[in-house]
């Protein structure tokens, strides 16, 4: 049996929402599959729902858009309970400047400047629907929704916006960075452990499984 996941990424990245599909013959009804699969899966993976979908469904190619959220903990004191779950970033940042920079990433652009070499793609053009930065206490959250992501694109976008927050770049520099297609001009690729897949969108029966979020 071949299982097709809706995306792959670096070790250390998390997923709060994820979709996978496979073809199988059996007597277990779809609504009972989560219970059966969870009895076999590792403790850090859970299946919440299953459905019989359209014949041509593909977890990757049928996906309309994806959302990633990056979390950075900005307290001056490390929280051990967030180890491996959020970037420890005890720096003062200008959230207003970061939000201005994030706005400039929105839209359809060539995102080669925030892509790490690692996979072959036909085009580096993507559409970013939203890039929202919020704060709750000492936790900064960077939520990015797009029709697709290049290798390390989300992490490089967050690193670039953090550079703006630190005053190393200006919000208006984002336009030139994207136009340049030069990875060296953008900010760093932040570590993987702060990144979460938090949303996937589909049509049809698969879409109904994710309609609540």
Distance CA 2, CA 20 (A): 10
| 139, two tokens | 């936790």
| 163, two tokens | 């550079």
Instruction: Write out the H or E segment, with its range, that includes residue 30.
Output: none
Task: Give the chain's end-to-end CA distance (angstroms, integer).
Answer: 29
Active-site residue, from 10, 94, 130, 138: 10
| 124, two tokens | 């580096």
Whether 10 sits among the annotated catalytic residues: the reply is yes
**CA distances (Å), 25 to each of 1, 5, 28, 77, in order?**
10, 19, 9, 53
Distance CA 206, CA 184 (A): 39
Catalytic residues: 10
């Amino acid at each position: 049996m071949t299982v097709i996941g809706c995306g792959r990424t670096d070790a250390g990245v998390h997923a709060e929402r994820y979709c996978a599909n496979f073809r199988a013959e059996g007597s277990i009804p779809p609504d009972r599959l989560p219970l059966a699969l969870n009895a076999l899966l590792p403790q850090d993976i859970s299946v919440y729902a299953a459905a019989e979908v359209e014949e041509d469904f593909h977890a990757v190619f049928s996906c309309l858009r994806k959302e990633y959220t990056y979390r950075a903990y900005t307290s001056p004191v490390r929280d051990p309970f967030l180890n491996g779950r959020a970037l420890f970033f005890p720096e003062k940042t200008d959230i207003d400047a970061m939000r201005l920079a994030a706005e400039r990433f929105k839209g359809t652009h060539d995102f080669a400047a925030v892509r790490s070499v690692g996979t072959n793609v036909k085009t580096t053009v993507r559409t970013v629907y939203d890039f929202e930065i919020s704060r709750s206490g000492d936790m900064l959250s960077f939520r990015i929704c797009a029709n697709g992501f290049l290798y390390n694109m989300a992490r490089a976008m967050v690193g670039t916006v953090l550079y703006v927050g630190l005053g190393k770049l200006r919000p208006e520099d984002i336009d030139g960075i994207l136009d340049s297609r030069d990875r060296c001009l953008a900010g760093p690729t932040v570590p993987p452990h702060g990144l979460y897949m938090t949303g996937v969108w589909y049509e049809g029966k698969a879409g109904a499984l994710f309609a609540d979020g």
